Every structure is written in C-alpha cells, then in structure tokens.
C-alpha cells in the first residue's frame, strides 16, 4: 500500500521546485536537467511561475491526470483518555483552503481577533487575547489557550486549543466557544489591531529565505499562483468588518469537531458543549 502510494504521488509531474537567490533561467535549466515532466510521451520542462517574492523562483508542472478529489470534511469527535493530570483539547470547524487566499487571510484575521498563542516566552497571554481573558475568568488553575488553524489545499480547520487541569476543561471549552460565537464583540478598533498583528506575522515569516522558498512552493502546489508578502498585506488591509463576521458565522454553521486527550474525567461530549 505504501509503495503504491509513493509511486502514484511522488512523481515528477507533481513536483514543485522552488529556489531562493537563484535566477529564473538557472532554475529552469536545473529543472530540465534533473526532472523529466512526461506529458503525453513528450518531455515537458514544466511551467515557470513568477512568484513575486523577491529572490524566489518557482518551477511547477500541474498534473492534469492526478484527478485529486476535494477534501471532504465530516466533523465529529474523538476522546482518548490517559493517565495524566492535564487535559488537551481542540475545538474546530471547517474553513477555506490555500486555494482561496482572500478567504484564508480573512480566516487568519478571525484567529488574530480571538487570539493566538503569545510570542513572549513564559507569558500566559491573559491580557493579549479574548480567548485568554475568557478562560482566565473561569479557570481555577494555570492553563494555555490559543486560536489554531490547520490549512490544506482546498480546506482547513480553524478554532481553538486548550491545555488545562481536568476540572477546568469544560468551563474553558465553553468560554472559548462563546468567544467564537462573538460574545465579546468585534469593532473597527479591534479589527485594525488584528490586521497589524497579522501584517507583522507575514513580514516576519518572510525574513527567512528558507521560509520564503517553502511558502512559494506550498502556494504553487495548492493554487498554481504565488502571492508576495506585499500582495498578502494588501488583501489584509482591504478586509472589512462585515467580511470577518460573515466568515465567522459561516464557519460556525458547519458541523464542529472536538478532539481531546489526557485526563478526560470532566470533558464534555460535543453535543453538550455546543448546546446553547
């Protein structure tokens, strides 16, 4: 089974070649030398995309025969109890994929509004995010809570994760869900603060040549297009408050997923958690 998968997936027609600090013609020459893109029996060197990321070029040949099926999200829950003092849980819903960059950036703004993990070491982040403040109001012990997003080519999972003492888990999960539902509200001031944080994250992510090369390869494989940091920032700046609210409501309308491991003696079932 593994061998069949490797032969079917790991082949030149599915390859994305991304290079940093290399010229357009040089990358094409290397692609021609080391990779054979078979197209109907004729050698095809692939398509060179203009990545618009300074110093990054991409060679990409989409495989028309791949016929990959879109990801199918079904929701649900899984509980894995273990001997542990702590409980670990994630609550997520379906979101847009990498093939829809504007919607994905809007979703990332939603994450910034509710709060992501702090960037300061050993910081609880309780004054930095709505999730942390909501959790702090109900927790009796130390905890960690953060917005999360797992992005794939045509779908994603977005929501929040929790690490807490077992007894605190149900209250923190419920408090986090209320934040997702918009109980704390969002206005233009909070949206602009979220935009500033996301723009900073985008710029810092492109400070590394290795990360820029990987970003270009991922974008090319997912959508056949590569956005620069400046283009992504322009999209961020144009997102409106109504678009943020609409996407959040759309995500919450899909069937949720709850995954939990650790000491689950107090962990609620999914239907109990989402009941209003």
Instruction: Assess whether 103 and 25 both reside in one domain.
Output: no
Mean model confidence pLDDT for the chain = 80
Same domain, 38 and 139: no
94 shares a domain with 217: yes
Query: What residues make up the domain containing 232?
Result: 76-274
- Extract the tokens encoding 42: 């004729």
Does the pLDDT value for residue 263 go beyond 80?
Answer: yes
- On whether both 253 and 123 belong to a single domain, the answer is yes
Phi, psi of 35 (to 5 degrees): -130, 135
Q: How confident is the model at residue 73 (pLDDT cuts 50, 70, 90)?
A: confident
pLDDT tops 70 at residue 68: no
Is residue 213 included in any domain, yes or no? yes
Domain-embedded: residue 68: no
As a whole number, mean pLDDT of residues 42-63 equals 49
Q: Give the integer Cα–Cα distance in Å for 91 and 112.
A: 16
The predicted model scores a pTM of: 0.78
Q: Is residue 70 part of a domain?
A: no
CATH number at residue 234: 3.30.830.10
pLDDT of residue 42: 38
Domains in the chain, number = 2
Residue 212 and residue 259 share a domain: yes
Reported as half-sphere exposure (CB side, CA atoms, 13 A), residue 185 has a value of 3
Residues 45 and 169 in one domain: no
% the chain with pLDDT above 90: 29
Is residue 165 domain-shared with residue 55, that is, in the same domain?
A: no
Question: To 10 degrees, what angle do helices 241-253 and 188-205 make?
Answer: 80
> Does one domain contain both 42 and 126?
no
- The Cβ of residue 234 has, within 10 Å, a number of other Cβ atoms equal to 12
How many residues in the chain?
Answer: 276
Q: Is residue 69 part of a domain?
A: no
The residue ranking higher by pLDDT, 144 or 33, is: 144
- 1-5, 18-22, 87-91, 241-245, range with greatest mean pLDDT: 87-91
Query: Are both 242 and 204 inside the same structural domain?
Result: yes
Looking at the fold, whether 18 and 107 belong to one and the same domain comes out as no
Q: What are the angstrom distances between the C-alpha of 259 and each of 12, 133, 157, 264, 270?
A: 36, 23, 12, 11, 9
Q: Is the pLDDT of residue 127 over 80?
A: no
In a domain, 12, yes or no: yes
| pLDDT computed for residue 154 by the predictor | 84
Q: Say whether both 53 and 115 belong to one domain.
A: no
Domain co-membership, 17 together with 123: no
Q: Report the DSSP beta bridge partners of residue 88.
A: 163, 261
* Per-residue pLDDT, 12: 63
Residue 192 has pLDDT above 80, yes or no: yes
Is the confidence at residue 57, as pLDDT, over 60? no
């Amino acid at each position: 089974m593994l061998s069949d998968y490797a032969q079917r997936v790991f082949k030149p027609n599915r390859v994305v070649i991304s290079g940093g600090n290399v010229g357009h013609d040089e990358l094409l020459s290397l692609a021609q030398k080391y990779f054979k893109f078979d197209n109907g029996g004729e050698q095809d060197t692939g398509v060179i995309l203009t990545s618009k990321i300074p110093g990054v070029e991409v060679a990409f040949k989409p495989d028309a025969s791949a016929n990959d099926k879109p990801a199918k999200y079904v929701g649900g829950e899984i509980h894995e109890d273990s001997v542990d003092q702590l409980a670990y849980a994630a609550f997520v819903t379906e979101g847009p994929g990498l093939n829809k960059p504007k919607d994905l950036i809007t979703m990332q703004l939603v994450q910034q509004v509710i709060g992501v993990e702090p960037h300061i070491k050993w910081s609880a982040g309780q004054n930095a995010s709505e999730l942390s403040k909501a959790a702090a109001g109900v927790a009796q012990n130390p905890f960690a809570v953060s917005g999360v997003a797992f992005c794939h080519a045509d779908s994603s999972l977005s929501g929040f994760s929790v690490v807490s003492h077992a007894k605190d888990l149900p209250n923190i999960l419920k408090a986090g869900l209320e934040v997702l539902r918009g109980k704390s509200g969002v206005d233009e001031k909070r949206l602009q603060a979220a935009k500033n944080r996301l723009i900073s994250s985008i710029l810092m992510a492109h400070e590394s040549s290795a990360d820029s090369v990987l970003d270009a390869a991922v974008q090319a494989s997912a959508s056949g297009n590569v956005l620069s940091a400046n283009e992504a920032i322009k999209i961020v700046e144009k997102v409106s408050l109504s678009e943020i609210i609409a996407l959040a409501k759309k995500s919450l309308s899909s069937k949720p997923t709850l995954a939990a491991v650790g000491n689950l003696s107090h962990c609620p079932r999914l239907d109990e958690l989402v009941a209003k």
